[in-house]
Amino acid sequence: CFQLASLLLLPLSRRCCNSFRLQKCSIRCRHSASADYQNGSRQRLVILGTGWGSYSALRNVDKSKFDVIVVSPRNHFLFTPLLCSTTVGTLEFRSIIEPVREYGFRQSDHFHLAEATEVDFNLREVTCRSCLGSRASYQIGYDRLIIGVGALTNTFGVPGVNEHAFFLKEVSDARQIRERLIENTELAQQAWISPDERARLLHTVIVGGGPTGVEFGAELYDFARTDLARLYRHKAADVRVTLVESAQILASFDASLRNYAEKKIRARKNFDLRQGTVASVDAQGAALRDGSRLPAGLVVWSTGLAPRPFIRDLDAPKSPSGQLLTDPQLRVLADKSGRSFAIGDCASIVDGPLPCTAQVAERQGRYLANRLNQDRTGPLSESSSGAQLQDEPFRFAGRGMLAYIGEFKALTDTPGVKLHGFTSWLLWRSAYLTRLGSWRLRLQVPVDWTKALLFGRDTSMF
């Protein structure tokens, strides 16, 4: 009896020490590595994140074969290609998100609103911190692990960005931008505001000329020339946008499309395309390295990716930009057992990095789910290591890129077709409409588009 008790207590005490080291408040989770799943007929698959990669894995994995547990600080999937449209009210926030609970969990507590803070590849345990209440810390054991936690926006250490600039990655970011835009516009109408301050409030600086920066600028331009011009007609002429880019805008697009977009943007009144590098951001705007200042009421920062603290702190081989390295089968190099996988923006394949896009992440999630579904081995046992899964590597052939540039014009850059203008805009809208994951969203999005077109965008403040 004593030997049995020590055998049980030794690993338990080790794990408890770990969790106490991490958090003042720490509990043992009922999902921790224990007999409940080792004796079952299903393996336990833990998925970290509810973004493009993880959500695709969740939707495609065979739930009769796996007990799927999802850990994410977000209980919805976000359709990022349409996020810019929500910053000005072309679309509403809830029209581009899907609750993950719709996707078949065996038990309601198989979704954890929490963030992963650590992985022990030897013990096969993920340490999580709840996003709710006392933010308790606990461990979950796994047979297979999929890491798809995405990335943060890279600030390049520029002073003031974290404190004063707005990012555009989550619905909460888009909501803050929308509120700030409307608040600034309302404030600019007040009689006691000086002309200089009014000009500052109505000026938005966008840092980064990638697809996100350009699309946000396009939405803002449309908003200003239609709804702001109609509702705030006496001051709408002061609304200005400056897009700052150190190199070329839309660098990943074909040169002919890039030039077309640049020409269209430069021709716009009150829309300035500025080549330069931002040196600092403060509450009053941004300063460039060339010494000039851009007083602004809103600075939106959209410049490349940086690893999340969870990935940064993992003791594992990383790419030069800090992504978790995997083999071509997407297995994390640090885990010799082959049971852990990493996909999407947080990962990079060791001998062939791929673009950080939704397309790549989504297909990696599907590829992994299909591979896991084919694994015929039983529940957790040494014989069911990842090495037994089919060895077909992940292959990616891009289907092309789309970007909205404003005034009902878009760019289509596919291997066979290079299109711009109105036809491309129709393609852009229909492509994303069909990509939306559920009929609810496919109904909601066109309703929002029609509402905005017929009645204008909603500029209410809450």
Residues of this chain that bind ligand FAD (CB under 6 A): 48-54, 71-74, 80-81, 83-84, 115-116, 148-150, 168-169, 211-212, 308, 310, 344-346, 356-359, 361
Residues 6+ apart with CB under 8 A from 12: 28
C-beta of residue 356 within 8 angstroms of C-beta of residue 154: no
Least distance (Å) from ligand FAD to the CB of residue 378? Answer: 28
**Smaller CB separation from ligand FAD, 289 or 312:** 312
Least distance (Å) from ligand FAD to the CB of residue 149? Answer: 4
Burial grade of 290 (CB within 10 A; 0-12, 13-18, 19 or more): exposed
Residues 6+ apart with CB under 8 A from 233: none
Cα-only R_g, the chain: 24
Least distance (Å) from ligand FAD to the CB of residue 398? Answer: 9
Least distance (Å) from ligand FAD to the CB of residue 432? Answer: 8
Helices 52-60 and 358-374: crossing angle in degrees, nearest 10, is: 30
Per DSSP (E only), the strands in 66-123 are 66-72, 76-78, 97-99, 111-120
**Smaller CB separation from ligand FAD, 27 or 199:** 27
H-run or E-run covering 370: helix 358-374
Residue whose token pair is 């009014």: 198
List the one residue out of 416, 418, 407 whose CA is nearest residue 258: 418
Alpha carbons within 13 A on the beta-carbon side of 336: 2
Terminal C-alpha separation, the chain: 63
**Smaller CB separation from ligand FAD, 92 or 238:** 92
C-beta of residue 288 within 8 angstroms of C-beta of residue 278: yes
- Chain position whose Cβ is nearest to ligand FAD: 51
Residue whose token pair is 């594992």: 316
Residues 6+ apart with CB under 8 A from 161: 155, 281, 301
List the one residue out of 31, 358, 335 whose CA is nearest residue 212: 358
Least distance (Å) from ligand FAD to the CB of residue 174? Answer: 8
Least distance (Å) from ligand FAD to the CB of residue 176? Answer: 14
Least distance (Å) from ligand FAD to the CB of residue 131? Answer: 10
**Smaller CB separation from ligand FAD, 126 or 273:** 126
Least distance (Å) from ligand FAD to the CB of residue 444? Answer: 18
**Smaller CB separation from ligand FAD, 135 or 266:** 135
**Smaller CB separation from ligand FAD, 198 or 429:** 429
The DSSP output letter for 61 is S
Least distance (Å) from ligand FAD to the CB of residue 357? Answer: 3
**Smaller CB separation from ligand FAD, 25 or 237:** 25
- CA distances for 219 relative to 83, 97, 163, 198, 247, angstroms: 10, 19, 24, 21, 22
**Smaller CB separation from ligand FAD, 188 or 405:** 405
**Smaller CB separation from ligand FAD, 58 or 380:** 58
**Smaller CB separation from ligand FAD, 53 or 406:** 53
**Smaller CB separation from ligand FAD, 398 or 421:** 398
Least distance (Å) from ligand FAD to the CB of residue 354? Answer: 10
Burial grade of 17 (CB within 10 A; 0-12, 13-18, 19 or more): exposed
As a whole number of angstroms, the distance between CA 206 and CA 87 comes to 13
Least distance (Å) from ligand FAD to the CB of residue 382? Answer: 28
Angle at 332 between CA 44 and CA 102, to 5 degrees: 40
